[in-house]
Chain A
Amino acid sequence: MTDTTAEHALTLDHVAFQWGGQGAFGLNVADFGIRRGERVLLLGESGSGKSTLLSLICGINAPQRGTIRIDGTEMTQMRPTVRDRFRAEKIGIVFQQFNLLPYASPMDNILLPLRFAPQRRARVSDATGAAFALTDALGLSRSAMASVTADRLSVGQQQRVAVARALIGAPSLIIADEPTSALDAGSQASFLDLLFAQCTSAGSTLLMVSHDERLAPRFDRSVRMEDIATLTREVAA
């Protein structure tokens, strides 16, 4: 797969990671990749190493062996501060819930990543306008956007603000960690529609993590955690 990395938004190659400390587990990913513009669902139960995998992809933690490339750029060898900057530029993240700084306004929450990502900032000439374009498209009312603090919004509204934050400045990879689990079934479908539409219009690749297999048909491809990763658990001495 190394010869086709240029077409890939993400590749993991013989990645091995071991948490420090006693009884900690390790994660090995031999070969995993996502092509540009692809929408991939990663299925896994809790404890399957999803969080660890995401923190490796986001460059919060660095693997002991192997390479991780985003947009063809190898990032495991970067210094931590450079990786932080790289993450800000390349990746937008949506969590399950509690995505926002509760005391900040929705607008400040959306604009926050631009503070750490000058290239993303340069891609939007009018940051506030771009944010409103996203929130309008996501069906967030301007009155909700005018809220003084983000914690006054409903959970559904907060998730949309989180999507706008992930998408602003069009990063190449969007990582969504169970973004719909806090929503009711009706909102889940419409939330996914909006997420897909905005990823497409931003040209971003989507990696969504979930335990809900029913979502699989809506994605280009779904992958099971156990098919790509092996867990090693260190036996306590």
Chain B
Amino acid sequence: MILLRLALRSLVARSLTVGLTIFAVALSVTLFLGVEKVRTGAKASFGDTISDTDLIVGARSGSVQLLLYSVFRIGNATNNVSWESYQEIAARPEVDWIVPISLGDSHRQFRVMGTTAEYFERYKYRGGRDLEFAEGRAFDDLFDAVIGADVAAALGYGVDDPLVVAHGLASFANHDNQPFRVAGILAKTGTPVDRTVIVSLEAIEAIHVDWQGGAQVPGQVTTPDEIRAMQLTPGAITAAMIGVKSRLQIFALQRSINTYPDEPLLAVLPGVALQELWGIVGIAETALVAVSGMVVATALLGMAAMIFSGLNERRREMAILRAVGARPRTVMGLLMLEAVLMAAIAALLGIALLYAGLWLMRPYVDAEFGLYLPIEGLSLREVLVVIAVICAAAVTSLFPAVRAYRLSLSDGMTVRN
């Protein structure tokens, strides 16, 4: 007990250097744990984005690309799926439900997605959770739109507010003639749905009535009422989500879609595509973990250097300890105890900084990157990391401690200042 107290007192007596060292180690621990949190948070957030969908169908490209644009609204489809093919797939006996998705337009910085009302029932996230309406309800008019929570928050929209869709994703050409009305606002999900404006598939067709080849036909203006009277069958969609009747049929259906004779199509299992994505992201992940591990190592080396530089001034102290009967091993142990105490305090401070940082940064990260970082306790892995840091501190302090051992053997009780 008295040795622990002495070690603590000794640290307090050198509070400035010790404090800076602890702060450096604490920051490195925060960085390491922060990287872990963001990494696992991103993975969980991605993994939670879609569930209960068996297959995603799109034009033939890469499975990761299909997953990214259809579910995460990242990147663009290179090609569309014709309405005929969609109809044919929908009619297959294995298909329990199918929800089309049509992308390509935007509203302000948010993407517009055309789909059917069934989307609100079929789309599930985070292990089977349903979309819920915070306000209003699903669209029933052609020019109704449902917006995600982030869209509503960022643009300050309420139910019944008007909304004009822009053609393309970064375009100055607006579909001014066909203004939409906000029919419903979805509750926050932590998925890309929050940043999506959802309209009916027909509405996507409707706003393009006067457009041909990507440009508005000059002078041609069709009024909303005229459009309502038109037959608005889409020519093509971007992708479709499919649920099968029996899970056993997934692979057979996937194979038949992938070998569809009339059009090059691709069907992917979302989970498998996600795994493929992790394979790509894994390299960057490893690099991040390695870099933050280096930072921890650097901070610990700094601590060892600090202990080293203090040794000479503390030879007097070691001589006193030896004189009262401490073994060289005890002197060595005291130094290691100091290092472990510093590392433990640093680890606690680092964890506190981590949670303070998470709490402060969460709204920003969520809004900016669509990454919802849950504030949870440390995972087993993270606890192990913290323990490893403390153990590493003990090991690093071995170097100055062995030096102290040698010094106290050679100095004995000789007075040195």
A is bound by B? yes
Q: Is the CB of B412 within 8 A of A84?
A: no
Contacting residues of chain B (318-344) with chain A, CB-CB under 8 angstroms: 320-330
Given contacts A101-B317, A115-B2, contact A93 B324 (CB under 8 A): yes
Query: If the complex has contacts A61-B412, A165-B324, are A112 and B2 also in contact, measured as CB distance less than 8 A?
Result: yes
Q: Does A81 contact B (CB under 8 A)?
A: yes
- Asked if A99 and B320 sit within 8 Å, CB to CB, the answer is yes
The residue from A80, A88, A102 contacting B324, defined by CB atoms under 8 A apart: A88
Inter-chain contact A113/B413, CB cutoff 8 Å:
no
Q: Which residues of the partner chain A approach B321 to less than 8 Å between Cβ atoms?
A: 101, 112
Given contacts A84-B327, A112-B2, A165-B324, contact A102 B13 (CB under 8 A): yes
Query: B417 near A: Cβ within 8 Å?
Result: yes
C-alpha spacing A93/B412, complex, angstroms: 13
Per the bound structure, the CA–CA distance linking A106 and B378 in Å amounts to 42
For A103, give its contact among B13, B326, B327, B330 (CB under 8 Å): B13
Q: Which of B7-54 contact A (CB under 8 A)?
A: 9-10, 12-14
Residue of B nearest to A116 (CB): B325
Beta-carbon contact of B413 and A103 below 8 Å: no
Q: Chain B's nearest CB lies how many Å from the CB of A161?
A: 12
Query: Is B78 on the interface with A (CB-CB < 8 A)?
Result: no
Chain A residue, CB-CB nearest to B414? A51
Of all chain A residues, the one with the shortest Cβ separation from B320 is A101
Given contacts A115-B2, A165-B324, contact A60 B329 (CB under 8 A): no
Name the distance in Å between B146's Cβ and chain A's nearest Cβ.
67
The answer to whether B415 and A108 have CB atoms under 8 Å apart is: no
Which B residues touch A84, using CB under 8 A?
Answer: 322, 325-327
Known contacts A98-B316, A101-B6, A102-B13; decide if A85 and B325 are in contact (CB<8 Å): yes
Which A residues are CB-close (under 8 A) to B325? 84-85, 87-89, 113, 116-117
B247: chain A residues within 8 A (beta carbon)? none
Q: A98-B415, A108-B6, A111-B2 are in contact. Are A103 and B12 (CB under 8 A)?
A: yes
Most chain-A CB neighbours within 10 Å: which of B5, B6, B9, B324? B324
A-B pairs, top 7 by smallest CB distance, nearest first, are A88-B325, A103-B13, A116-B325, A60-B412, A113-B324, A84-B327, A93-B323
